[in-house]
């Protein structure tokens, strides 16, 4: 993907997000795989895991996938603006350190690193 195309996608995402309270932005970090999926770093307004889950559900109502916590087994499944499964309650108020994503088309999986966990 060319730099101009990547910057255009990022700009369009920012413009769309200006109309909502949510600010999840996916930054393409490539390369794109044969199946057209790609890795992304994520910028977000969430501070806790609970807020991040809410942000993903509200920002991307047509997507489906998983939200996983780095180095932990629990993962959360979401589909079309709804949760299918959820993290244990004791993890939801943990602070987020970083978020990466991988996907394309309508599937996007998120990989969360919690702060001091």
**pLDDT tens, residue by residue, 56-107:** 998 889 999 999 999 888 899 999 999 999 999 999 999 999 999 999 889 9
Q: pTM value?
A: 0.76
The per-residue pLDDT for range 19-54, each reduced to its tens digit, is 445 467 878 888 989 988 998 988 877 789 999 999
The residue whose two tokens read 């991988």 is 102
HSE toward the beta carbon, residue 97, CA cutoff 13 A: 8
Q: How far apart are CA 23 and CA 43, in angstroms?
A: 8
Question: Which pLDDT does position 23 carry in this prediction?
Answer: 63
Q: CA dist 7 to 28, 50, 52, Å?
A: 9, 29, 24
Which bin fits 86, alpha (ψ -120 to 50), beta or left (φ > 0)?
A: beta
Q: How far apart are CA 117 and CA 10, in angstroms?
A: 30
At 5, is the pLDDT very low, low, confident or very high (cuts 50, 70, 90)? very low
Question: Which pLDDT does position 105 carry in this prediction?
Answer: 83
């Amino acid at each position: 993907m060319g730099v101009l195309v990547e910057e255009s996608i990022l700009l369009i995402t920012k413009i769309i997000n200006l109309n909502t309270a949510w600010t999840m932005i996916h930054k393409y970090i490539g390369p794109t795989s044969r199946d057209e999926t790609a890795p992304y770093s994520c910028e977000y307004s969430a501070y806790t895991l609970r807020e991040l889950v809410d942000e993903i559900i509200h920002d991307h109502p047509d997507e489906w996938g998983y939200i996983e916590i780095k180095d932990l087994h629990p993962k959360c499944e979401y589909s079309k603006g709804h949760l299918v499964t959820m993290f244990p309650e004791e993890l939801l108020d943990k602070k987020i350190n970083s978020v990466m994503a991988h996907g394309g088309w309508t599937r996007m999986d998120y990989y969360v690193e919690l702060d001091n966990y």
